[in-house]
Each structure stands twice: as structure tokens, then as C-alpha cells.
Amino acid sequence: MNAPLRKAGLVMILLFGLLFAQLNWITVVKADEYRNDTRHNSFRLLQQDYERQRGNIVVDGQAVALSTATADTFRYLRGYPYGGLYAHTVGYRPVYGEVTGIEAIENDILNGSASVFTADRLLEMLTGKKSNGGNVLLTLSHSVQETAYNALMNNRSSSQTGAVVALDPTTGAVLAMVSTPTFDPNPLVAHDFDTATDEYDRLLADPGRPLLNRAVSERFPPGSTFKVIVAAAALQQGLSPDSVLPGGETYTAPQTTVPIQNAPGVVCPDEITLLDALRVSCNTAFSRYGVEQLGTETLKRVAREFGFETAPTFDRDDDNRMAVVASQTGPMAGPDGTPDPAALAQSCIGQRDVAMTPLQGALIAATIANDGVQMRPYLIDTIQDANLVPIWRATPSSLRRPVSSAVAGQLREMMNAVVRNGTGTNARIDGFEVGGKTGTAQNGDAPDHGWFIGYARTSSGQPVVAVAVLIQNAGPRGSAEATAIAGQVMRAAIATKGLG
């Protein structure tokens, strides 16, 4: 063969190679991007999303989201066997609309379009046989999730609206994430356009906002649970649990005329130890210490070190598809930017502009239980391919260390006293070290919110579970009911781990 023919042949081979590479780039690597491009969102493209059976989302070996074959235009129907129990976490994958929750975070895994499935997609081109999508195994415990949901829905306060978050303090694995009221995602994924959109519009118009995930996407005044942050700052400044603080029945901050008062029934003597101030939840002691000793900048710094002002996104959710919002301490300053003693005094008891998510409350408790190390929360334990072979496993990672091991130990001493013989006795569990902090948060003219954040450790000091419970607009029984719910959730976690 002469030289010109060889050159022409090499050019042809190169062109065919480039054409083949471009074809594979479009059909394999870029397929999901093009399919989800709203500029090309035709009925045919919607059908293509349902030509492959979507993978399962699994909790404790049971599918909580799965697809079944149908005889209609869309070959597979997404279903959620547990209705609203996992709705806010798992989310839903509608035919017409935006995918949410885990369904959104792992959409390319579940629909089989992730790059890890490139070989399967190439094989499909040769055989014409569609393989299933991958499976997502969650960290949630069915027992803990169900206990949290039932306890919240059957509490004896004036409200069943709220949230529960339970974490493994040593890893950050989420054991339960509940928000009420919830919703049934099944009508939202109906193949009939009118059925799905009517249900979505109904939920969107519901004044109870059932689509809102109160566990991570809404902030609430934390009330006295925020005193744990103030106590941490005091210990870092050199105080001990036995340090004596001025207390009293009322405290009027400088430049103000309205005094801070203790909650009804709280006895706070003129002098009280830091431990007892937390145990009985003495407003005057914490407000006075914050204004006269701590200061705004120090309080804000310590709150930031625990995670305030930064949304703690879940592992594998760097785009924050779970819509986690950051907890906030608020300005604590006047209109001219100068320190506002009244704002600081109120902030030290979790009021004014301080606002916290239940997830952040659980992270605070988990950090203290875990000797001062805060782990990154995660919901996804394992990713499997269509043949149930693991292709990814979670690796726990730390976020930050807000306090030293020594300070964490002092905080546990104080929080243990809250549960042992303070405001949190409803959370006691025989044979386990349980610590926590109750909170009653004023909410304008509406009924108070009820809070509890806490943890359980074995008698040998091994962290088992951390929990935050919020009952929105719970009224006077709020914190007591939140504490009782936390006790039930922690018992369920202990039993799940075979420790109780």
C-alpha cells in the first residue's frame, strides 16, 4: 500500500474513532444531563425515564421506595410502602415535577445513569436489555424512626407538629429523622397528571405545611437548650461546674427596664453553681453571666464552633438537595451596630433572634456525648449495583471539635444532672448514662415550643445515641413531653443496638 493510501486509511480510522467516542459520550456520559434538560422535556423523554426499573431505597433490609411494573405508558410505577413515615427523608420521584430527598440526591444511582454504570449501559447497547438502577441503603433504623413518629403523634401536649432527629454520636449516622405533619408521597408519583398535580396543590395549600421538613429546613427559637452553648463558653473561660454565679428572681440588663425572669416554678437563689443553674434552668444566672462576663463576640464564636451559621449538609449531598438551613444566633446589636445588652441577655436563654434546627440540636448533644468531636451527619450507608453488589460504603468523618474532651466531660456532668434530678427526669433510662437539656421557647403570641436535646451512653461511657425533639406550639406541657419522647427514642436506639 502506498503512502497516500495509508495516510487516508489512518485518517478514516481516526474519524471513525472520534465518531464512536462522541456517540458514547452522548449516549452514556451525557445522557442523564440531556434527559433532565427542561428545554427537551418532551413526553418521549419522560417515557425514557421509565424504561428502566428504578432501584430501591432500603431501610433495615426493607424497601421504603420501589418500582413495580405497569401496563400503562410509563412502564414502572414508583411506590412508597410506608406512606408518610419516611416521606421527608426519602422524598419522591414524580413523573411531572421535581424529585426530592434521597430520590434527588441519588437520582443517577437509582435510575442507573451514574458513571459507575457505564459498562452496563454499553452492554445494553449490544443486548438491548435494560438493567435495573442501583439501590440505596440508608442509615435509618426502622424501629427508631417508627418510635419517634408514633411518640410525636401521640404526645400529650396541645400539638402533634414537630420534629425528631436521632444520631449515632460516634459516626454521625442518622438513626431517625421525622417531621410532622407528614404526607403520603404515593399520589404525588401517580402517572395521571391531574391526580399528581391536584395532590401537590392540596399539600402546598395546607396551612400545616406538611411538605416542610421541620427537622432540617426550619429554624425555631431553642429556648433553654441554648444554655448548653453558654455553659460551654463559661467552661472554656475557666469556670467549672461548681463555680458560683449570681442568680436571683430577676435580672435587668444595663440600658434596659424590662427584667429577665425565671420560668414559673423555677427556684434560683441569689448564688447558684453553674451545674445547678443548668439543672434547674435558671434564666437570671445565664443572662447575667452572658452580659457581665461572656460578651456577644465570645458567645457567637462558641455557637459558630458548634455549627451555628453553617448549614451541616449530609454526606453525598454537597448540593444540599435535602434543603438543610443554618442555625443562627441573630445580630445581638442595636440599629447603630453597638452591643445591645437586652438582646444578649435574651439570646443567652435561647430567645430574641436565636433560631435552631432540630438537626443542629442533635449535633450539639452528639458532640458532647462524643468527647467534643462533632461528626458529619450522613443518611446513606451503602450503594449497591443492580446485582446487590456494594459499590460504595460510607466512611464517617469529623466536622469540627468545638470543645476539648475535658470540657465535654464537664458538660456531661451538668447535663447528666438535668436528667438525674433536674428538669429532664422524663428521659431517664435505667443502666445508662443519660444527659440532656430541656427548653421552653416563647413564640410571640402563639403557644410556646417544647424542646429536649440529649444523649445516652453505656455505663462504661460508650456513646449510643443523641437526640433532639421539638414540639411546635406545644404549650405548657411542651418540654416535658419532648423529654418523654426523647426517652422513648433513645430506648429504641439502645434496643436496636442490642444493648438494652
Q: What is the DSSP string of 158-181?
A: S---EEEEEE-TTT-BEEEEEEES
Cell of 289: 453571666
**Range name among 166-175, 249-258, 301-310 with the lowest pLDDT average:** 249-258
Distance CA 30, CA 26 (A): 5
Check: CB of residue 350 under 8 Å from CB of residue 364. Answer: no
- The predicted pLDDT at position 40 comes to 45
Distance CA 393, CA 233 (A): 37
- The predicted pLDDT at position 44 comes to 62
Q: Please give the average per-residue pLDDT across 94-108, as a whole number.
A: 95
- The predicted pLDDT at position 11 comes to 61
Q: 224 catalytic, yes or no?
A: yes
- The predicted pLDDT at position 38 comes to 43
Asked if pLDDT for residue 15 goes beyond 60, the answer is yes
Kindly report whether the global pTM for this prediction surpasses the value 0.85.
Answer: yes
Asked if pLDDT for residue 10 goes beyond 90, the answer is no
Asked if pLDDT for residue 33 goes beyond 60, the answer is no
Distance CA 221, CA 328 (A): 10
The residue extents of the domains of the chain are 143-496
Check: CB of residue 493 under 8 Å from CB of residue 458. Answer: no
Catalytic residue among 157, 159, 224, 287: 224
Check: CB of residue 419 under 8 Å from CB of residue 280. Answer: no
Residue identified by cell 502506498 is: 2
Helices (H), 91-135: 101-105, 107-110, 118-127
CATH architecture of 143-496: 3-Layer(aba) Sandwich (3.40)
Better-scored residue on pLDDT, 126 or 462: 462
Q: Please give the average per-residue pLDDT across 126-137, as a whole number.
A: 81
Q: What is the dihedral of CA 424, 430, 434, 439, to 10 degrees?
A: -20
- The predicted pLDDT at position 2 comes to 62
Whether residue 181 is preceded by a cis peptide bond, meaning omega within 30 degrees of 0, is: yes
Distance CA 228, CA 371 (A): 15
